Amino acid sequence: MVEFALILPLVVLLLVMAIDFGRVFFGWVALHNAVRIGADFAANNREYWDAMPAAFEDQRQQYEDLIENDLQSLNCELPSPDPVPEPVFSGFEDGDLVQAEVSCSFGLLTPLAESVLGGPVAMTVRTEFALNRTIQGGLPDGGAGGPPEPPPACSAPVTGIATEPDASGGQVNINTGQTVIFSDDSELGDDCGTPTYAWDFGELGTEDTKGPHEKTFTNPGPPAFKNFTVTLTVTTVYGSDTESVQVRVRR
């Protein structure tokens, strides 16, 4: 019992030191993983640091957030005030390299381990990734630097009516006996099926083709003005939409 009592503190101390060294190794591995995550993000989003960097401040913050979030489980103190330095690019073409680097101070549990290692363990990890993939994003002004926008998905049409003379505020103003030309001006997605058209000219009848359609409006009077409402309904397999325009005929 006496021998056990004498050796127990040493055994416990050695055990805690072993745990400390295990924690340091785990921290070293986790720090490498965090830096690799950041480098991969920078390599796939080079435009955040290349073209118009001021426009991508929020996106560049994601780089720091990815690394810091991955290190939350570690007893690792990042430097202040710049915990995660910006990645360093050798260039911004495919095959160029981006370097990510992070340093931290890893605290230990036992005073003996700290005395052996000279206090908290300072670790610096850096890694390099090649820029060898297509840029994922694009410039905010739609310029060069990103892949072309995918074609829009098919959706319900947006009906529009063009007139000659032109409508103002949804109304065409003409004199009696004057002809108005109505044309379809609807928005339809590519390869969204064949649309059908339903024109309603009121007392002037209906049409079921795209047009253009010429209609002559008369106002025998009184009153001095007579209003006609012209509507167009465009239908596809994705839905339908209706638009109208008013024709005001002066006697």
- Check: CB of residue 37 under 8 Å from CB of residue 67: yes
Structure tokens given for 57: 């401040």
Peptide bond before residue 165 is cis, with ω within 30 degrees of 0: yes
Say how far apart CA 21 and CA 32 lie, in whole Å. Answer: 17
Q: pTM for the complete prediction?
A: 0.45
Phi and psi angles of residue 187, each rounded to the nearest 5 degrees, phi first: -105, 120
Q: How far is CA 176 from the centre of its chain?
A: 54
Of all residues in the chain, the percent with pLDDT exceeding 90 is: 24
Q: What is the pLDDT of residues 104-122, one digit of tens each?
A: 877 766 666 666 656 677 7
Say how far apart CA 222 and CA 205 lie, in whole Å. Answer: 22
> Between 57-70 and 2-44, two packed helices, what is the crossing angle to 10 degrees?
160
For the chain, what are the domain ranges? 2-130, 161-250
Burial class of residue 5 (count of CB atoms within 10 Å of its CB; 0-12, 13-18, 19+):
exposed
Say how far apart CA 244 and CA 122 lie, in whole Å. Answer: 73
Burial class of residue 11 (count of CB atoms within 10 Å of its CB; 0-12, 13-18, 19+):
exposed
Q: What is the pLDDT of residues 127-171, one digit of tens each?
A: 888 886 554 444 444 444 455 555 556 778 899 999 999 988 889
What DSSP letter does each residue of 183-195 carry, written as one string? EE--B--TTS---
Pairing of strands 206-207, 196-200: antiparallel
**pLDDT band of 184, cuts 50, 70, 90:** very high
Q: What is the pLDDT of residues 18-48, one digit of tens each?
A: 666 777 777 778 888 888 888 888 888 888 8
User: Which residues are CB-contacts of 25 (< 8 A; sequence separation ≥ 6)?
Assistant: none
- Check: CB of residue 41 under 8 Å from CB of residue 33: no
Average pLDDT over residues 236-250: 90
Please state the CATH superfamily assignment of the domain spanning residues 161-250 in this structure. Answer: Immunoglobulins (2.60.40.10)
Residue 63 CA: distances (Å) to CA of 43, 67, 118, 134: 11, 7, 32, 18
